[in-house]
Amino acid sequence: MSYSLKFSHLIEYDAGDPGITVSARLWLTAEKTVEVTAKVDTGSTNCVFSRAVGESLELKIENGLPKRIKTAAGGFLTFQHEVNLTVAEFDFDVLCCFAEDAAFERNVPGRYGFLMQVQMGLDDYEGRLYLNRNF
Amino acid sequence: MNVQEIIKATRRLPPEEKRQLLLALEADAAEVQVAQSELPAAKDKKLEIRERRMKWFKANQVRYGGQYVVMDEDRLLGTAHSYREGRELALSQGVADAFIDYLSKPDEEGEMGGW
Specify the CATH number for the domain of residue A61: 2.40.70.10
Asked if the model's pLDDT at residue B115 lies above 60, the reply is: no
Closest residue, chain B, to A88 (C-alpha): B27
Asked if the model's pLDDT at residue B114 lies above 60, the reply is: no
Residue B35: pLDDT band (50, 70, 90) is low
Which site among A71, A77, A104, A105 would you substitute to test the B interface, given the most B Cβ atoms closer than 10 Å to its Cβ? A71
Does ipTM exceed 0.85?
A: yes
- Annotate chain A with three-state secondary structure: CCCCCCCCEEEECCCCCCCEEEEEEEECCCCCEEEEEEEECCCCCCCEECHHHHHHCCCCHHHCEEEEEEECCEEEEEEEEEEEEEECCEEEEEEEEEECCCCCCCCECCCCCCHHHEEEEEECCCCEEEEEECC
The ranges assigned to domains in chain B are: 14-103
How many domains does chain A fold into?
1
Model confidence pLDDT, tens digit, residues A57-107: 999 999 999 999 999 889 999 999 999 999 998 999 999 999 999 999 999
Range of the domain at A63: 19-116
Q: Read off the amino acid at residue A12.
A: E
Q: Is residue A4 part of a domain?
A: no
d(CA A83, CA B51): 11
Q: Is residue A125 part of a domain?
A: no
Is the CB of B111 inside 8 Å of chain A's CB atoms? yes
Q: Is residue A5 part of a domain?
A: no
**Residue A25 burial class via C-beta count within 10 angstroms: exposed 0-12, middle 13-18, buried 19 and up:** middle
d(CA A54, CA A77): 14
Percent of chain B's residues with pLDDT above 70:
84
Q: Read off the amino acid at residue A34.
A: V
Write out residues 53-92 of B within 8 Å (CB-CB) of A. 53-54, 57-58, 61, 82-84, 87
Q: Is residue A92 part of a domain?
A: yes
| Option in A30, A117, A135 nearest B38 (CB) | A30
SS3 B44: helix
Asked if the model's pLDDT at residue B14 lies above 90, the reply is: no
* Backbone phi and psi for residue B91, each to the nearest 5 degrees, phi listed first: -65, -35
With contact defined as beta carbons under 8 Å apart, do B47 and B74 qualify?
A: no
**Residue B42 burial class via C-beta count within 10 angstroms: exposed 0-12, middle 13-18, buried 19 and up:** middle
Q: Is residue A75 part of a domain?
A: yes
Q: Is residue A135 part of a domain?
A: no
